[in-house]
Amino acid sequence: MTAAFSLHDVTLGYDRHPAVHHLTGSFATGSLTAVVGPNGSGKTTLLKGLTGHLAPLDGRLERNGLRQSDIAYLPQQAEIDRSFPISVMDTVLLGHWRTIGLFGAVTRTQRRQAEEALLAVGLDGFGRRPIASLSAGQFQRVLFARMLLQDCPVILLDEPFTSIDARTSADLLRVVVGWHGEGRTIIAVLHDLDQVRENFPDTLVIAREPVAWGATADVLRAEYLFQARQMAEGWDDAAEVCRRGVA
């Protein structure tokens, strides 16, 4: 099986301080993987490394032929400024950016596709509303509709179901499962372990360093989760980058 991403002793971090340490493994093409771990364990940093927004401090990260435009990335809602005066429809149409460019005109077909995407996420008739007027759950549906238009083979999701209602979570989870059924590679940072067990075949447990990575039934176990908590609590944020084998 081919790999969408291959990591070889990768260290990622900021200002030369590691946030993810010595990660080796691969995300298979077409896989559906949950990334779990305590707060501050490097999960978001890992996604930023996979997108190419963050270069490794050490080691090698291979995207195996993937272009930047092949990767759809959904950050945490807290990172998104919703005060910009833009409508739901215009936000969704940004999903066509790689085909229409910055100044290209939106075609009738593309607008119809945006309407269909809104229908698919349960927001039919919301197109004219400003995004600032939406609830957290409604706004997350808008972002998923935009990703439907992006139509990327790889989708990275950072806490996509946090702070939204249960019905929205269930609806959007069905979208994720549908993407997986289409053969897309999906990597999602998640906190709901029951959700992971029921829907994600593969899991990476991380606490700055990898704890366990493989089939969810094998790695989402109490001893690994306890180990992850212990590792995260004992981490030194001021530590310098270390390199194995270097005195």
Phi, psi values for residue 190, rounded to 5°: -135, 155
Of 130, 151, 172, at which residue does a domain stop?
151
β-strands 58-62, 3-14: how paired?
antiparallel
Question: Do residues 213 and 203 touch, judged by C-beta distance below 8 A?
Answer: yes
Distance, in Å, from the CA atom of 149 to the CA atom of 191, rounded to the nearest integer, reads 27
CATH of the domain at 161: 3.40.50.300
In this predicted model, what pLDDT tens digit does every residue of 132-172 receive, in sequence order?
Answer: 999 999 999 999 999 999 999 999 999 999 999 999 999 99
In this structure, the answer to whether residues 101 and 204 fall within a common structural domain is no
In this structure, the answer to whether residues 56 and 116 fall within a common structural domain is no
Distance, in Å, from the CA atom of 224 to the CA atom of 230, rounded to the nearest integer, reads 10
Domain encompassing residue 88: 81-151
pLDDT at 246: 39
Closest CA to 237 of 35, 2, 19: 19
In this predicted model, what pLDDT tens digit does every residue of 82-141 receive, in sequence order?
Answer: 888 899 999 999 999 877 766 678 899 999 999 999 999 999 999 999 999 999 999 999
pLDDT at 114: 96
pLDDT at 192: 95
Distance, in Å, from the CA atom of 221 to the CA atom of 215, rounded to the nearest integer, reads 11
In this structure, the answer to whether residues 225 and 157 fall within a common structural domain is yes
In a domain, 113, yes or no: yes
One-letter amino acid of 53 = H
In a domain, 228, yes or no: yes
3-state secondary structure of 117: helix
Of 93, 124, 151, at which residue does a domain stop?
151
In this structure, the answer to whether residues 144 and 160 fall within a common structural domain is no
Q: Which helix (H) or strand (E) holds 144?
A: helix 136-150
In this structure, the answer to whether residues 53 and 173 fall within a common structural domain is yes
Provide the whole-model pTM.
0.92
In this structure, the answer to whether residues 219 and 161 fall within a common structural domain is yes
In this structure, the answer to whether residues 167 and 233 fall within a common structural domain is yes
In this predicted model, what pLDDT tens digit does every residue of 50-94 receive, in sequence order?
Answer: 999 999 999 999 999 999 999 999 999 867 888 888 999 999 999
In this structure, the answer to whether residues 178 and 211 fall within a common structural domain is yes
As for how many domains the chain has, the answer is: 2
The arithmetic mean of pLDDT across residues 34-60, rounded, is: 95
